[in-house]
Structure 1
């Protein structure tokens, strides 16, 4: 079987390349910037000719995305919606049999505590972030694809591990700056997904039924303050929390974002997406993935976080 992995330079993409190679797949890879990976071709999926990427491919694993907490609507649309639409069309024309999207549980978030959500849980009328908005559109497009190609998706929660450029690095940066925001006292429940568990979920989803979407996590949830403490121990950094009420955190994030956008500047230290992610509980029910795909989490956080500092 021949697979194409997009976003192959990222945390999930690299893990997926490793897992596919172990299973004997012939793997092609792509990302925006050159990187030493098997069968690599640099490409901007929103603008490049995609035909050479999908020629002779059996399964496309679409991991590429703009997953930042910061950016414009146009940037998120180009990277997460337009690129997905162009890749879907190119794969269909090339006769690709399967297309698997790495979607996002951010589409569930509404700023309140939401626990043990199944895949059919109601989605908020308005997404909480531009990232969530773009991923929701992309997922709907993939799962509703009407061509001959079978399309599925997973919603992996908070992927971390080696090559993570989002979750752990942000917490570590906050520690080095001085204080880590403890919104609502750091009591929000978060379940995470080690990169290898997420990669296995992607591979299993490639055999799932058309239009299927599955929650994927490592099967355990922690309070944010517990996660931060474990990260501090492994990194050798001191954890100093800054207690923040949820309402105040949202006000500060909103004001920071307004100032940053007015100045055309970089991402502020506190964003609305970060407040939603760290200040409200969001955990997922993975029983459908267990039942329908045979998915079983294999890497717990205490084991997985050690990998990041080995």
Structure 2
């Protein structure tokens, strides 16, 4: 298989490149900034001619995205929706056979605890973040495009591991400040996905039935407090925790966001998306991926987090 990996410099993208190369596939990689990866072609999916990227490609793995708790609607629309539309169109014209999209479980979040959600769980009428809104729209566009080019997607929950620039780095940064807030005591349940498991799921999804999306996790859920305790043991960072009610955290996040916008737009330390992500339970049912794709998570959190501190 000759595959294109977009967003190849990111956590999932790099893991996917490693996995594809291990399986003997030819890989073309792309990101906006130059990086030392096999078959690399620098490209901006929002503006550049995409024909050189997709020429001779059999499968596109679309991992590139603006993945942030902060930004404008126009930025998210351009990076996550328009870029996806352009890549789909270029891929179809080039005769690409399969298109696999990295979606997001953030589309399920509605500010309440939601447990063991299947792929057909009711989605909120309004997304809790602009990121989730854009990923939901892009996923719908991809799946509706299924036809001569088989289009599928996965919703990997909280990807972590080497090259992670979001989950564990942000947690460690908060721990290094010495005091870590525990929203509602850190009781919220979170399931996570090691980068290698997410990469394998992307490859399996390429051969799955067209027009389908699958939840992907490690198959085990932890409370936020448990995740913090494990990361603390592995990192050796000394820190204390303090409880904060969910509603108060929400209020503080809203104030922080308002101040950030007035002060120039820099992302605040606390956002409403972060409060919802860490203060409300969200766990996924992965039985469909097990059944349809033969997906089996291989890396436990205890194992996976070790590479982050090696």
TM category, shorter: over 0.9
Please list, as runs of the form range in 1=range in 2, the aligned pairs for 1:23-38 lying within 5 A after superposition: 23-38=23-38
Secondary structure, aligned partner of 2:41: strand
Following the alignment from structure 2 to structure 1, what is the Cα–Cα distance between the partners of residues 146 and 99? 12
Secondary structure, aligned partner of 1:40: coil
Query: What is the aligned-residue RMSD (CA, Å)?
Result: 0.8
- Note the C-alpha offset of 1:178: 2.5
Q: Residue in 1 aligned with 2:131? A: 131
String of CA shifts for 1:90-119, please: whole Å, max 9, x gaps.
Answer: 000100000000000000000100000000
Moved more, 73-82 or 232-241: 232-241
Following the alignment from structure 1 to structure 2, what is the Cα–Cα distance between the partners of residues 70 and 233? 30
Following the alignment from structure 1 to structure 2, what is the Cα–Cα distance between the partners of residues 271 and 156? 22
Q: Residue in 2 aligned with 1:22? A: 22
1:187 aligns with 2:187: yes
Give yes or no for contact 1:229–1:239 (8 Å, CA) kept in 2.
no
1:62 aligns with 2:68: no
Following the alignment from structure 2 to structure 1, what is the Cα–Cα distance between the partners of residues 286 and 146? 27
Q: Residue in 2 aligned with 1:11? A: 11
Q: Residue in 2 aligned with 1:42? A: 42
**TM-score with structure 1 setting the length:** 0.99
Q: Residue in 1 aligned with 2:197? A: 197
Give yes or no for contact 1:92–1:147 (8 Å, CA) kept in 2.
no
Following the alignment from structure 2 to structure 1, what is the Cα–Cα distance between the partners of residues 79 and 159? 19
Following the alignment from structure 1 to structure 2, what is the Cα–Cα distance between the partners of residues 295 and 216? 9
Following the alignment from structure 2 to structure 1, what is the Cα–Cα distance between the partners of residues 146 and 206? 17
Secondary structure, aligned partner of 2:268: coil
- Note the C-alpha offset of 1:233: 1.2
- Note the C-alpha offset of 1:288: 0.3
Following the alignment from structure 2 to structure 1, what is the Cα–Cα distance between the partners of residues 265 and 105? 28
Moved more, 255-264 or 199-208: 255-264
Q: Residue in 2 aligned with 1:74? A: 74
Please list, as runs of the form range in 1=range in 2, the aligned pairs for 1:1-310 lying within 5 A after superposition: 1-310=1-310
Following the alignment from structure 2 to structure 1, what is the Cα–Cα distance between the partners of residues 132 and 265? 22
Following the alignment from structure 1 to structure 2, what is the Cα–Cα distance between the partners of residues 82 and 91? 14
String of CA shifts for 1:125-181, please: whole Å, max 9, x gaps.
Answer: 000000000000000000001552110000000000000000000000111123222
**TM-score with structure 2 setting the length:** 0.99
Would you say how many aligned residue pairs link Structure 1 and Structure 2? 310
Following the alignment from structure 1 to structure 2, what is the Cα–Cα distance between the partners of residues 243 and 268? 20
Following the alignment from structure 1 to structure 2, what is the Cα–Cα distance between the partners of residues 254 and 204? 40
Secondary structure, aligned partner of 2:30: strand
String of CA shifts for 1:227-269, please: whole Å, max 9, x gaps.
Answer: 0111111111023113110100111001100110122231111
Following the alignment from structure 1 to structure 2, what is the Cα–Cα distance between the partners of residues 77 and 179? 36
Give yes or no for contact 2:6–2:62 (8 Å, CA) kept in 1.
yes
Following the alignment from structure 1 to structure 2, what is the Cα–Cα distance between the partners of residues 240 and 205? 42
Secondary structure, aligned partner of 2:238: coil
Unaligned 5+ runs, structure 2: none
- Note the C-alpha offset of 1:296: 0.3
Give yes or no for contact 1:228–1:239 (8 Å, CA) kept in 2.
no
Secondary structure, aligned partner of 2:46: coil
